[in-house]
Amino acid sequence: MTVSATLAASETIAARRAAGEEVLALAFGEAGIPVHPLLGQRLARAAAETSYGPVAGIGSAREAAAGYWTRRGLTTDRDRVLLGPGSKPLLFAVLHATGGDVVVPRPAWVSYAAQATLLGRDPIRVPVPEGEGGVPDADGLEAAVHAARDEGRDPRVVVCTLPDNPTGRLASEGSVKALCEAARELDLVIVADEIYRDLVFEDGPFPSPAAWAPERTVTTTALSKNYALGGWRIGAARFPDSDLGERLRETVRGTASEVWSSTPMPMQHAAAYAWSDPPELADRITAARRLHGTVAHGVAAVLAEAGCAVEAPQGGFYVWPDFAPLRGALEERWSVRTGADLARVLLDEFGVGVLPGSAFGTDQADLHLRVAVPGLYGSSDSERLAALVSTDPLQMPWIADALASLRSKLAALTATR
Ligand SMILES: Cc1ncc(COP(=O)(O)O)c(C=O)c1O
C-alpha cells in the first residue's frame, strides 16, 4: 500500500514550495477556508473533555447528526448513527463489515479502491453514465456483478459519491433510482458518500440513494468539506433501519472499538453544534458554496478556452477536464502519452500541481485531470476570508492573477511548435 495519491501530491508540492519553487497547488482536496470562529470556540470550550467517551459517539452529537439528515429528508434516529474520526475510517469499517467484493465507479475518489485492496479484494470498476459522475451506470453494474459472480467472486457492496470527487458532477435522479433498483435486485449494500452534499451549487432536490433504497443504504458525511475542517477528523455514518443495518452498525462499532476507540471528544462537541445547522453558521455554508461554484466555473471556462472538453461543475470544488482533444499537440510537443505524463509536465515545466485521472481509476492513456480549485483562494487566511465573503471572487486580485497565469501556462502547454 502506498500513500494516497492526493496526500502524496500535496506533500510533493509542499516540498517544492519549501525549496523556493512557485507552485499552483491544484492537487489536494482541501476546502481552503478558515475555521468559523464560533466552531473554534466550541472546540476550545470542550478541551477539558479528555476521556475516550462512548465508541459510537456521544448522544448529543449523534442526535445532531440524526437531525442533520432528518432536515434533509432522511428521517433518522440517533441510534442509527455512528461517529468516527473522519468519514474515511468509517467507510473502511463499513466495507469491512459488508464483506465480499466492492464495486466502485470509474472514476471514483482514490480511497475506495485502496480500501478494498487493503481488505484483500480487487475493486470491481463500473463506468459512470455518460456526462455524469459518482454512480456506476446501472446496466453496467448488473453486467459486472453477474460476470463477477459467474467467476466465483462475491460482490456485496457498491459505493457512490454525491456530488462527486473527482468529476464535480451530481448524479441525476434517474441514474440514482436505477442504481437503487439494480442494487436491490443484486442484493448489494449501497454506500452513499455524501460528504460534499451541502456544497451543491444549484438549489434543487438531492438524489440520496437512502430515499429509494432505505433498507440497504449506509450514508456518510463529515465536517471536512462543508466547514473545511478536514484536519479536525470527524465524520458520521447513518445505518439503515433494518436487520441488515443493525448488523452492519454493530460490526462497525466493534471495529471502531478495536481500531480508534472513540472520536475525539472536543470534536464531537463542535460537531454537535455544527450538525444542528445553527442559523449563524448557515451563511458560512452559503458563502463556501458560492466561492467553490464561482471559482470552479471560472477554472472550467479557462480549461475550455484552452481546448479541453469539460462538463460544468455542479458541486464540491473540483473540475475534471479531458485533454483528449489536445492529444496530438501534447504528444508532439511534450511526448505526453498518459495522464501521468501530462500531470508531470504540468508540474515540472509549468509549476501546476494536479492529479491524473488514472489516480481515480481511469486508464493510463486517459487524459482527464482532477483540478482542485481551493488552491486559488489565496495564500493566507486573510486572502481566503476575503475571497469567501466576496460577491465576485474572480475579481479578487490574487484569484484573477492565478487564473490569468493558468490561462497562459495552458496556452504554452498546448501550443504546437
Ligand atoms: C469523496 C470523499 N469521501 C471521503 C473523504 C474523506 O473525508 P474525511 O475527512 O471525512 O475522512 C474525502 C476527502 O477527500 C472525499 O473526497
Give the tens place of pLDDT for each residue, 47-103: 999 999 999 999 999 999 999 999 999 999 999 999 999 999 999 999 999 999 999
Ligand 1 atom nearest to CA at 235: 10
For 283-341, write each residue's pLDDT tens digit: 999 999 999 999 999 999 999 999 999 999 999 999 999 999 999 999 999 999 999 99
What is the 149 CA–ligand 1 centroid distance (Å)?
A: 30
99 and 207 in a common domain: yes
Place of cell 430515499: 211
Indicate yes or no: pTM above 0.85: yes
Ligand 1 atom nearest to CA at 91: 4
For 160-173, write each residue's pLDDT tens digit: 999 999 999 999 99
For 199-235, write each residue's pLDDT tens digit: 999 999 999 999 999 999 999 999 999 999 999 999 9
Alpha-carbon gap, residue 210 to 220, rounded angstroms:
11
What is the 166 CA–ligand 1 centroid distance (Å)?
A: 11
48 and 21 in a common domain: no
366 and 252 in a common domain: no
Domain boundary among 258, 277, 296: 277
222 and 136 in a common domain: yes
Domain range for 298: 5-30+280-414
Ligand 1 atom nearest to CA at 29: 14
Q: pLDDT-derived band of residue 5, with 50, 70 and 90 as boundaries?
A: low
260 and 383 in a common domain: no
242 and 298 in a common domain: no
Domain boundary among 277, 308, 333: 277
80 and 51 in a common domain: yes
Whether residue 224 has its Cβ less than 6 Å from ligand 1 = yes
| 145, amino acid identity | V
For 87-101, write each residue's pLDDT tens digit: 999 999 999 999 999
Whether residue 193 has its Cβ less than 6 Å from ligand 1 = yes
Alpha-carbon gap, residue 373 to 367, rounded angstroms:
18
Task: Give the mean pLDDT of 105-124.
Answer: 96
262 and 213 in a common domain: yes
Task: Give the mean pLDDT of 248-260.
Answer: 98
What is the 372 CA–ligand 1 centroid distance (Å)?
A: 13
Sheet with 101-106, edge to edge strand ranges:
81-84, 235-238, 217-222, 189-193, 155-161, 101-106, 124-127
295 and 205 in a common domain: no
Using alpha carbons, select from 255, 210, 199, 192 the residue that is nearest to residue 56: 255
230 and 314 in a common domain: no
Sheet with 369-372, edge to edge strand ranges:
318-319, 369-372, 355-356
Please give the pLDDT value at position 14: 82
Q: Is the pLDDT of residue 6 over 80?
A: no
252 and 223 in a common domain: yes
Domain boundary among 228, 255, 277: 277
CATH number of the domain that residue 83 is part of = 3.40.640.10
Q: Is the pLDDT of residue 376 over 70?
A: yes
Number of domains making up the chain? 2
Run of H or E including 151: none
Cell (9 digits) for 356: 491524473
348 and 224 in a common domain: no
CATH number of the domain that residue 410 is part of = 3.90.1150.10
Whether residue 284 has its Cβ less than 6 Å from ligand 1 = no
Q: What is the mean pLDDT of the chain?
A: 95
Alpha-carbon gap, residue 280 to 299, rounded angstroms:
30
Cell (9 digits) for 321: 477536464
Query: Which of 224, 267, 275 has most ligand 1 atoms within 8 Å of CB, for mutation?
Result: 224
For 330-361, write each residue's pLDDT tens digit: 999 999 999 999 999 999 999 999 999 999 99
Query: Which of 159, 164, 225 has most ligand 1 atoms within 8 Å of CB, for mutation?
Result: 225
Cα distances (Å, whole numbers) of residue 378 to 43, 117, 392, 398: 25, 36, 14, 7
Please give the pLDDT value at position 229: 94
Whether residue 109 has its Cβ less than 6 Å from ligand 1 = yes
Whether residue 86 has its Cβ less than 6 Å from ligand 1 = yes
